[in-house]
Structures are given as structure tokens and as C-alpha cells.
Amino acid sequence: MEQTAKLSFKSFPNSGIRIENYTFDFIGMKFHQHELVSKEFLFSEDIRNETQRVLNSLKDLFPASTDLKFVSVHARRTDYKEWMKWRLDGSLASKSYFLKAMDIMRARHNSNRTKLLFLVGSDDPDWCKEVFKSLDDVIVINTIHSKYSNVQPTWDLALMSACEHSILR
């Protein structure tokens, strides 16, 4: 089964770009397409500033000597379950998938000086809160108060895009 569908781009006046047939990665994206997408998906300066303010406030929770690195975790669940089954004969990522991925990241990046903080974005935050409740290095994004909390998908994406590393499924 081919896991990466052929990407196609359509421009819509005054509403940006629609990427069709996207499943897992952008590895096959041609350079000009990557540049086009990068320009289109630029957050407003106000959202970028608020994102940095929030990340800096999270850094303030740790000793100044700690080199805090952020890892975004994207756990798409609600509408994706049926789509994965129908389109790819697949299933949602399990709790163990995310926990193992987090363990791998910790093993690669945590040290005496460096600490990882996982920021989890999801359309099912209740599931995420339950799954990650015992982990002190995980924050579910919708629990972070911001003036952009009312536009949750945008806010989730802005925070996740500002992270140094990502876990996706």
C-alpha cells in the first residue's frame, strides 16, 4: 500500500491554497511547492508574538540553566478514525505509539542541562489529558490560556509549528 498520496495544489482567490490527497508527509514535495506552502501558511505577527510569549512563559517555569526544548505532538482522532479506515485501511495511533515516540525523544535529547516539554495538540483533548495525565513533561495545548484560545485549531498549529521537534501520526 502506498502511504504517500500524490499532492495536488489548487489556488482559490482570497482564500489561499488547498492541498488535496495529503496523508503523511511532504517528502516528495517539489521545491517550488514547498516555497508556496511556506508563504501561504505564515501566521500573523500578532499570533507569532503571542506564541513566543507563551513559550517564554513556559521556559520561566524551569531553572534558567535548563535548556528547554519543545516537542509538538499531534494526535488527530475524531474524524480521522473513519477516514484512516476507509482511505488507508489503517487505524489511529495508539497510546503506546505516542508514549514510545516520547521515550525515543527523551533518550535522544534529555540530559543534565536539556529538558524536553511536549505540547500536545488534538481534536480530542479529553483523550490526551487522560492518556498523558501522569507525565510531568506533557502539556495539552488547549489547557494553555491565550488570547487565541478561542481559535483553537489556529492556536494549536501556531504553537506546534514553533517547536523544535515533532511527533506526528
Write the pLDDT tens digit of every residue in 30-89: 555 656 666 777 888 888 898 999 999 999 988 888 999 999 998 877 766 666 666 666
72 and 10 within one domain: no
The whole-number pLDDT of residue 15 equals 46
pLDDT of 141 higher than 70: yes
Residues 72 and 139 in one domain: yes
- Of 78, 111, 98, 104, the residue nearest 138 (C-alpha): 98
Q: What is the pLDDT of residue 21?
A: 47
The reply to whether 83 and 97 lie within a common domain is yes
Q: Give me 157's grid cell.
A: 498549529
Whole-number pLDDT of residue 102: 94
On whether both 53 and 37 belong to a single domain, the answer is no
Whether the per-residue pLDDT at 12 is higher than 50: the answer is no
* Number of domains forming the structure of the chain: 2
- Are residues 162 and 80 located together in one domain of the fold? yes
Q: Are residues 145 and 68 in the same domain?
A: yes
Domain of residue 55, residue span: 47-167
Question: 155 and 78, same structural domain?
Answer: yes
Q: What is the pLDDT of residue 81?
A: 63
Whether 116 and 131 share a structural domain: yes
Cβ neighbors of 29 (< 8 A, separation 6 or more) are 7, 37
Average pLDDT over residues 104-131: 92
- Please report which confidence band the pLDDT of residue 157 belongs to, taking 50, 70 and 90 as the band edges: confident
Q: What is the pLDDT of residue 83?
A: 61
User: Are 29 and 37 contacting, i.e. CB atoms less than 8 angstroms apart?
Assistant: yes
Residues 38 and 75 in one domain: no
We report the CATH number of the domain holding residue 143 as: 3.40.50
Residues 25 and 102 in one domain: no
Percent of the chain with pLDDT over 70: 62
Residue ending a domain, among 10, 27, 42, is 42
Can you give the pLDDT at residue 97?
A: 87
Mean of all residue pLDDT scores within the chain? 76
Q: What is the DSSP letter of 85?
A: I
pTM of the model: 0.73
CA 39 to chain CA centroid, Å, is 19
Q: Are residues 85 and 100 in the same domain?
A: yes
Q: Is 15 helix (H, G, I), strand (E, B) or coil?
A: coil
pLDDT value at residue 90: 66
Claim to verify: residue 20 and residue 54 sit in the same structural domain: no
